[in-house]
Amino acid sequence: MDAMRAFCPRPGCDTIVQVRAASPAHCPNCKHDFCSQCNQEWHGGITCEAAAASSSMGGAGAPLLADSELIKLCPMCRVPIEKDEGCAQMMCKRCKHVFCWYCLASLDDDFLLRHYDKGPCKNKLGHSRASVLWHRAQVVGIFAGFGLLLLVASPLLLLAAPCIVCCKCRLCNPNTKNLEEVDEIESISPGREDEDRTRYLAE
């Protein structure tokens, strides 16, 4: 999306809003005014950093983040996300970014959820140990299956490669052979016509 448009950050809206410099972005759908730079409530005359600090202390924008335990901003696109139930592995519906609810660390590449094995978020995923192990076994099984499929398919592709190349060869292509036979017939035909003409004149 270009710099002159932005999504409305109000949960459930996601309307595309026209952005004007030094002016609040106004959503025509939900009538919400916000800053297009930080997606917080409009804070005219105050920097985004100052507004964020003020909202964390209960100032401007506090109603949006009134309960930091239930509502947090996506670390990637800054859209407000509410957590009412489920585990600590969150996915933003707008940008599809996966992150930890507690420390906002990125989990985009953590397929095995190792983030919750150590550190301040240890054992805070919200699932039992058995379910985590089952999830990891499924992920490992998928990767192992792809590897096994590739291992089995590689020799077959090597065996099939000469046949594929041979099928495109002129010597093995029946259509090419027919064209060559036609060329030979056409090259022989003029000589035969001369012989027939000579015999006719002799008679």
Q: Which residues are catalytic?
A: 87
Report how far Cα 21 is from the mean position of its chain's Cα atoms: 31
> Which pair of structure tokens corresponds to residue 65?
């983040």
The token duo for 192 is: 């035969």
Q: Assign residue 112 a region: left if phi > 0, alpha if psi is -120 to 50, beta otherwise?
A: alpha
Does residue 18 contact residue 4 with C-beta atoms inside 8 Å? yes
| Of the candidates 103, 10, 140, the residue with the CA atom closest to the CA atom of residue 90 | 103
* Helices first, then strands: H and E counts in the chain: 3, 8
Residues 6+ apart with CB under 8 A from 57: none
CB atoms under 10 Å from CB of 179, counted, come to 12
- Say what the alpha-carbon torsion angle 46, 52, 56, 61 is, to the nearest 10 degrees: 70
